[in-house]
Amino acid sequence: MTHEYIDLQTVAHVQGAVRLPGSKSISNRILLLSALSQGDVDIVDLLASDDTAVMLAALRSLGVQWAEEKTATGTIHHVKGVAGVLPNKSADLFMGNAGTAIRPLTAALAVIGGDYTLHGVPRMHERPIGDLVDALNAAGTDVEYTGNPGFPPLHIKQGKIHAQRLSVRGDVSSQFLTALLMVAPLMARDHAISIDVVGELISKPYIEITLNLIRRFGVTVEQNGWESFTIQPGQVYQSPGTIHVEGDASSASYFLAAGAIAGGPVRVEGVGRDSIQGDVRFAAALEQMGVQITMGDNWIEAKSNGVLKAIDADFNHIPDAAMTIAIAALYADGTSTLRNIASWRVKETDRIAAMATELRKVGAIVEEGPDYIKVTPPAVITPATIDTYDDHRMAMCFSLVSLDGAARKGNVMRINDPKCVGKTFPEYFAAFAAIAK
């Protein structure tokens, strides 16, 4: 898809099944853990997207060998682990706008040491990384900013780890804690390493993903609630042999919401009740809005139950999927309030501001605060041209505004820069068209 926009006709009913692409969060974590581990790892169904391409390219620049094999059912990535010793001691790494790549990789390179530069697109240079760098440098690494303090680009040199306790803020991005947890075994060569969380930890389900995957690579993390984490010395990442990437639960939200808004049933395949991703809790939020949800081990299905009920809830645990709730609110019977979503402001764009601006275009009354958004639906949704801010989730969310049980025939929603979905789901618009009857 090379167009600068895509026009979506009004759709009265959606139905069908969608096989989800692999989870971005799981894919990039598994790639780095595989690279750092002893032995070779076969990764099944790795997400093919801009963000994973960035991580794969970075690993190759660092001397990690990997190969992709196409099979009848999908892909297998064969990664040769380097047991925590990177072959290339210097590299210049372009990280795009991939937070799930730059943050853990910064931690790994800082702890391993060498001569590395990391940079990305202009928006990446506006996304905070200072809390992570502060925690690392306090422990003895040598990371410096080559642009604005607190933000990429970064220059990493050889440091000397001396600390046994690290502390990191938990209220800006859970990726900072994820990054420290993933490299803690590399720091805990001779003595235990503890990581203390300062303030409230947001997006806890993403930390659960991290802990789950670290365990699957053979390392034990001792947990004191969400306040501190300890890794005993002498543990090394071991290849699990073969590891499968779950379908992306954040991507599932668009299709489940479509079923909720425009009939259904719509089934997503690749995530279910056994998922390690917190974003499957999106289905529970839809249930609160009156949607009929059914679940299997590896699938979730949503079916409309009439007009959606307005919702007032805390979405700190599922910030990415919560964006889809803001769109579903257009179809609700009153004003919906999404609370505790301050992290939206430091994502691919300022998502609270972007959401408010674009929701107003389609007729909604919107109130935005530092960490909340209130959406009052319009009597009739107005066709509009939606700007996406180089943010994949904005494009996918607003595709749903083309849905309407009352079928405003012939009206068009235009989505600018639809190719931004390549960050996590390059085939999104084709998958969306397939359920639109």
pLDDT digits 0-9 by tens, 239-270: 999 999 999 999 999 999 999 999 999 999 99
Q: Which of 32-41, 133-142, 407-416 shows the lowest mean pLDDT across its residues?
A: 407-416
Residue 347, marked binder:
yes
In the prediction, which pLDDT does 323 show? 97
Give 51: exposed, middle or buried? Use CB within 10 Å, 0-12, 13-18, 19+. Answer: buried
Residue 7 has pLDDT above 90, yes or no: yes
pLDDT at 2 exceeding the cut of 80: no
Q: Does 281 carry a binding-site annotation?
A: no
Query: Is the alpha carbon torsion for 385, 391, 395, 401 positive or negative?
Result: negative
> What's the confidence (pLDDT) of residue 181?
98
State the pLDDT at residue 235: 97
Asked whether the predicted pLDDT for residue 412 surpasses 90, the reply is: no
CATH code reported for the domain at 5-20+247-435: 3.65.10.10
Query: Does 423 appear as a known binding residue?
Result: yes
Q: Do the domains at 5-20+247-435 and 24-234 have one common CATH topology?
A: yes
Please state, in angstroms and rounded to a whole number, the distance separating the CA atoms of residues 31 and 112.
17
Tell whether the model's pLDDT for residue 346 goes beyond 90: no
Which residues are marked as active site? 320
Beta strands of 175-232 (E only): which ranges?
A: 193-198, 222-224, 228-231
CA distance linking residue 180 with residue 168, whole number of Å: 9
Does position 305 have pLDDT exceeding 60, yes or no?
A: yes
Q: Confirm if 391 and 354 have CB atoms less than 8 A apart.
A: yes
Q: Structural domain boundaries of the chain?
A: 5-20+247-435, 24-234
24 is in an annotated binding site: yes
Is the sign of the CA dihedral 205, 208, 209, 210 positive or negative? positive
Q: How far apart are CA 350 and CA 359, in angstroms?
A: 14
User: What Rg, from alpha-carbon coordinates, does the chain have?
Assistant: 22
Please say if the pLDDT value at position 1 is more than 90: no
Half-sphere exposure of 147 (CA within 13 A, CB side): 17
175 annotated ligand-binding residue: yes
Among 17-31, 43-57, 194-208, 396-410, name the one with the lowest average pLDDT. Answer: 396-410
According to DSSP, residue 130 is labeled: H
Question: Is position 408 annotated in a ligand binding site?
Answer: no
pTM: 0.90
Mean pLDDT along residues 368-396: 96
Amino acid 408: pLDDT: 53
pLDDT at 366: 98
The pLDDT of 316-334, averaged and rounded, is 95
Report the pLDDT value the prediction gives residue 214, as an integer from 0 to 100: 98
Q: Specify the amino acid at residue 101.
A: A
Which CATH superfamily is 24-234 part of? Enolpyruvate transferase domain (3.65.10.10)
Is 173 annotated to bind a ligand? Reply is: yes
Q: What's the first-to-final CA gap in the chain, in angstroms?
A: 21
The per-residue pLDDT for 411 is 77
- Does residue 29 register a pLDDT over 70? yes
Is it the case that residue 410 has pLDDT exceeding 90?
no
> CA-to-CA distance for 162 and 159, rounded, in angstroms?
9
Q: What percentage of residues in the chain have a pLDDT greater than 90? A: 95
Is 351 one of the annotated binding-site residues?
A: yes
Given a cut of 50, is residue 302 above it in pLDDT?
Answer: yes
* Band of residue 407 on the pLDDT scale cut at 50, 70, 90: very low
Share of the chain above pLDDT 70, in %: 98
Task: Report the distance separating Cα 186 and Cα 110, nearest Å.
Answer: 11
- In the prediction, which pLDDT does 205 show? 92
With a CB cutoff of 8 Å and minimum separation 6, the contacts of 433 are: none
Q: Walk across the sheet containing 90-94 and list its strands.
A: 90-94, 115-119, 154-157, 142-145
- Mean pLDDT computed over every residue of the chain: 95
